[in-house]
């Protein structure tokens, strides 16, 4: 029997798992997909928000403000790229100035440092912003991150410290039996003293397996453009419009890999798994983005994608015990600013909700650090040359667009939270993220995965189970 079982391996679930691994506990993480971070965590704006925007007094405001400063140490320990480039929230029209001032006042209540800039100061910072800009709000603590690799590294670190991860384990029933729960998946039953529901868009479905609930999750789909890292300087930080009832609006931002991201839209959808894109929505994204930055080179787009945010009917995070039983904890509705908030949420869940239920004894062997991840393309050339000569596999390039080497892929395959699919490799290493979108390297990655797992290339999926790329063998490999 496990002390704690976490349902969901997104950023919130994996950071809770890592936090629990600091103690002498038996912890299981159940994930319905064949990889961690395969839902909302994998498809978002990748922003660590400063915290000026959430309404004061909400859980969003509380945990955003607490979580943001935790990222410097967290990303150092987990070896994840993170840059505090700051953000500008801009007013293009005079009618928007009162709302900009309101956000500045809200930032004081939330305790977030910001500065109001006039037109000249704004254009000096970001010359490519709409020259009609009237003013902007500069938030220096805003940052950019790779949320998927943050999730992978958090899970890896948790596993290295004793947590068990079970993939492709969709939960279908939960039953209280005496003093513990039986969590039934499509593949088995897990007995556990405490359940933490961190199931993202399906958190309401999981919660309803235990008791009637008075809230629901209605996903909002956001569609994006990704531009190639063709040159630096289109924007140097994250550029926001003024927020609306739909969210923070369509942004233009640089990413940790030097690409640019434009989006998202924000529309409610009935299907929690709908991650399609459509031309009309993308045209609207493009139109609104060019109101912020007029000369976005959309001829440099290499990808469009969408992701679903778990929008809760309470319009705030839900982080609390189930009404009928404290041994079931809901961590739901973690939409924006969810990534920024997640380290603080994890700490709160463990120290304030789990601790009263289970005695927490420190794990004397806990190691907060993951093994160094070598990203040769992003490291200096001198180190590049030396390291690749000392390590033979790092001299063979698999992905020419992103300069990803065989050594980097093999390193990921030999970690405690390895990829099992082509997209799993892609998200961890960026192999397939470039202009050709895997046109040249995908076949090599399929063969590498097949060899590593000792299976046929026919059995290697593109993403989740059942998304196999190859149908049949027409001649021997």
The residues assigned a catalytic role are 49
Could you give the 3-state DSSP secondary structure of residue 90? Answer: strand
Distances (CA, A) of 81 to 111, 176, 293, 387, 411: 26, 42, 26, 20, 17
Q: What residue has token string 């000569």?
A: 389
Is the C-alpha dihedral spanning 371, 376, 381, 382 positive or negative? positive
Alpha helices in 111-259 (DSSP H): 119-125, 147-160, 203-207
Element (H, E) at 451: helix 442-453
Burial of 131 (0-12, 13-18, 19+ CB in 10 A): exposed
Element (H, E) at 18: helix 11-20
- Buried b vs exposed e over 134-150: b needs ≥16 C-beta within 10 Å? bbbbbbebbbbbbbbbb
Q: How far apart are CA 145 and CA 368, in angstroms?
A: 19
Distances (CA, A) of 314 to 186, 216, 351: 30, 8, 24
Burial of 354 (0-12, 13-18, 19+ CB in 10 A): buried
- Buried b vs exposed e over 48-66: b needs ≥16 C-beta within 10 Å? bbbbbbbeeeebbbbbbbb
Answer yes or no: are the C-beta atoms of 191 and 181 closer than 8 Å: yes
């Amino acid at each position: 029997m496990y002390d704690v079982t976490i349902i969901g391996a997104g950023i919130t679930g994996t950071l809770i798992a890592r936090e629990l691994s600091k103690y002498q506990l038996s912890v299981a993480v159940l994930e319905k997909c064949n990889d961690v971070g395969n839902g909302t965590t994998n498809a978002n704006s990748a922003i660590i928000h400063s915290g000026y925007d959430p309404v004061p007094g909400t859980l969003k405001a509380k945990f955003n403000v607490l979580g943001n400063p935790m990222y410097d140490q967290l990303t150092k320990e987990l070896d994840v790229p993170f840059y505090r480039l700051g953000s500008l929230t801009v007013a293009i029209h005079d009618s928007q100035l009162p709302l900009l001032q309101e956000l500045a006042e809200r930032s004081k209540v939330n305790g977030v440092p910001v500065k109001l800039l006039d037109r000249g100061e704004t254009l000096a910072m970001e010359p490519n912003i709409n020259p009609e800009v009237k003013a902007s709000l500069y938030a220096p603590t805003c940052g950019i991150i790779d949320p998927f690799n943050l999730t992978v590294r958090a899970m890896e670190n948790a596993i290295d410290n004793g947590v068990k991860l079970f993939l492709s384990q969709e939960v279908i029933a939960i039953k209280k039996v005496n003093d513990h729960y039986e969590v039934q998946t499509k593949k088995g039953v897990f007995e556990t003293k405490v359940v933490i529901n961190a199931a993202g868009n399906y958190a309401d479905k999981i919660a309803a397996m235990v008791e009637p609930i008075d809230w629901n999750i209605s996903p909002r789909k956001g569609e994006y453009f990704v531009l190639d890292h063709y040159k630096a300087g289109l924007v140097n930080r994250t550029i926001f419009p003024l927020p609306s009832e739909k969210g923070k609006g369509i942004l233009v931002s640089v990413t940790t890999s030097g690409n640019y991201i434009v989006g998202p839209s924000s529309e409610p959808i009935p299907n929690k798994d709908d991650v399609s894109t459509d031309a009309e929505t993308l045209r609207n994204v493009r139109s609104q983005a060019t109101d912020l930055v007029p000369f976005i080179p959309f001829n440099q787009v290499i990808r469009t994608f969408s992701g679903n945010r778990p929008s809760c009917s309470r319009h705030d995070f839900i982080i609390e015990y189930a009404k009928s039983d404290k041994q079931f904890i809901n961590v739901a509705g973690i939409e924006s600013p969810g990534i920024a908030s997640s380290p603080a949420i994890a700490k709160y869940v463990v120290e304030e909700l789990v601790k009263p239920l289970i005695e927490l004894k420190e794990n004397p062997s806990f190691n907060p650090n993951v093994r160094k991840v070598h990203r040769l393309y992003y490291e200096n050339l001198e180190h590049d040359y030396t390291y690749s000569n000392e390590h033979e596999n790092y001299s063979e390039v698999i992905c020419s667009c992103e300069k990803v080497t065989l050594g980097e892929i093999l390193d990921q395959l030999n970690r405690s939270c390895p990829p099992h699919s082509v997209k799993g490799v892609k998200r961890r290493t960026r192999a397939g993220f470039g202009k050709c979108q895997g046109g040249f390297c995908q076949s090599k990655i399929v063969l590498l995965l097949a060899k590593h797992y000792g299976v046929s290339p026919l059995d290697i999926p593109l993403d989740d189970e059942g998304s196999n790329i190859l149908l049949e063998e027409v001649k021997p490999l």
